[in-house]
Amino acid sequence: MALPTSLERAGFVRRTEVPKEGRLYATVEVQEDGGAFDALVVDERGRVYVELLGYRTVALPGQRTIE
């Protein structure tokens, strides 16, 4: 858990056809520098709806680590 500090870019993809059924999924990848994340919201076919690039956070004090 962390608080957001910055975001390089956010975008929404306008679709002419929006599915009436199905699920949306978030995919998140760590950027190469390890300090930021890129996230996409996609449907079951992999079509992108929302894009968040360069999302950075500040770790909360006392944060637990999973070992």
Whether the pLDDT of residue 19 is over 90: the answer is no
Please state the pTM of the whole predicted model: 0.72
Is residue 65 included in any domain, yes or no? no
Is residue 67 included in any domain, yes or no? no
Q: How many domains does the chain have?
A: 1
How far apart are alpha carbons 57 and 30 in whole angstroms?
Answer: 12
Question: How high is the pLDDT of residue 32?
Answer: 87
Using an 8 Å Cβ cutoff, are 2 and 62 in contact?
no
Question: How high is the pLDDT of residue 50?
Answer: 93
Domain span including residue 29: 2-15+23-59
How far apart are alpha carbons 1 and 16 in whole angstroms?
Answer: 36
How far apart are alpha carbons 2 and 18 in whole angstroms?
Answer: 32
Note the pLDDT tens digit of each residue in 47-63: 999 999 999 988 767 75
